[in-house]
Amino acid sequence: MRKVFVNIGLSLDGFMAPEGMTLAHWSQPDYKDWGAKWGAMMGWILKLQYFREHLQFGSGGETGAVNDMLRHTMERSGASIMGKRMFEQGEASWPENAPFHTPVFVLTHEKREPWVRPGGTTFHFVNDGPESALEQARAAAGERDVRISGGADVVQQYLSLGVVDELEIAMAPVIFGAGRRLFENLHDPMPQFRIDAVFHSPHATHLRYVRA
């Protein structure tokens, strides 16, 4: 059965992004030290063989359970959903061959024609809310799953709608102290999950939760 799943990185104190990580400061990674904090949280993925091959960063990289987990995540994803803030930051930093290789539905109030990138990624801009974006993503994904990529407010919207089947969280041993927190602004009834799998590495603990 097709799933809707969240796939994110998280700091040890529960933040998806550090304070200061905004488009206004994108060229200033030393502003509130957001660049170093983000790198410490997400550095694990740059070490993996599958990620390096997927983004054409070159050969080499770590193999094993975490690398296999990332491969499974990417191969199961038939479409992704994200917010405007995440898209704008990615537009400024992703390579031309963006790292999705599927349709991506961007929640935004801005009207914009689809943006086609090499490698199978097309960004579609959805102006009529999260339910519409999910409906379109499910149709585009076919028999594969829908990935909720972020940011925090978008994840919160889909958790509050009660449509998230699984959470995949890479928790890194870094403390931000401030930023965009994941688990807030949720509506009752709160979704309930159980632990499905845990993968350890020296760089992050990878947690998968499924609906209880």
Q: Tens digit of pLDDT for each residue in 36-54?
A: 999 999 999 999 999 998 8
Task: Identify whether the C-beta of residue 146 lies closer than 8 Å to the C-beta of residue 137.
Answer: yes
Question: What's the rounded Cα separation, in Å, for the pair 9 and 116?
Answer: 26
Q: Which amino acid is at 69?
A: M
DSSP strands (E only) in the chain: 4-11, 15-18, 77-83, 103-107, 115-116, 122-126, 145-150, 166-172, 179-181, 193-200, 205-211
User: Looking at residue 150, which CATH number applies to its domain?
Assistant: 3.40.430.10
Q: Judge whether residue 198 has pLDDT over 90.
A: yes
Distance of alpha carbon 147 from alpha carbon 182, whole angstroms: 16
Which pLDDT does position 127 carry in this prediction? 97
Assign 58 a pLDDT band (cuts: 50, 70, 90). confident
Higher pLDDT, 158 or 58: 158
Whether 99 has a pLDDT exceeding 80, the answer reads: yes
Per-residue confidence (pLDDT) for residue 90, from 0 to 100: 93
- In the chain, % of residues over pLDDT 70: 100
Helix (H, G, I), strand (E, B) or coil at 146: strand
Residue 190: the pLDDT is 87
Is 212 in contact with 194 (CB distance < 8 Å)?
A: yes
Q: Which residue has the tokens 């059965």?
A: 1
- The overall average pLDDT reported for the chain is 95
Contacts of 182 (CB under 8 A, 6+ apart): 8, 10, 14, 15, 16, 152, 155, 156
**Domains held by the chain: number:** 1
Which one-letter DSSP state was computed for residue 189?
Answer: S
pLDDT class for 55, splitting at 50, 70, 90? confident
Q: Average the pLDDT over 117-122 and give the result.
A: 93
Residue type for position 211: R
Range of the domain at 138: 4-211
Residue in 111, 110, 177, 184 with CA at minimum distance from that of residue 151: 184
- pLDDT tens, 10-40? 999 999 999 999 999 999 999 999 999 999 9
Which of the four pLDDT bands, split at 50, 70 and 90, describes residue 109? very high
What number is the average pLDDT over the span 111-130? Answer: 96
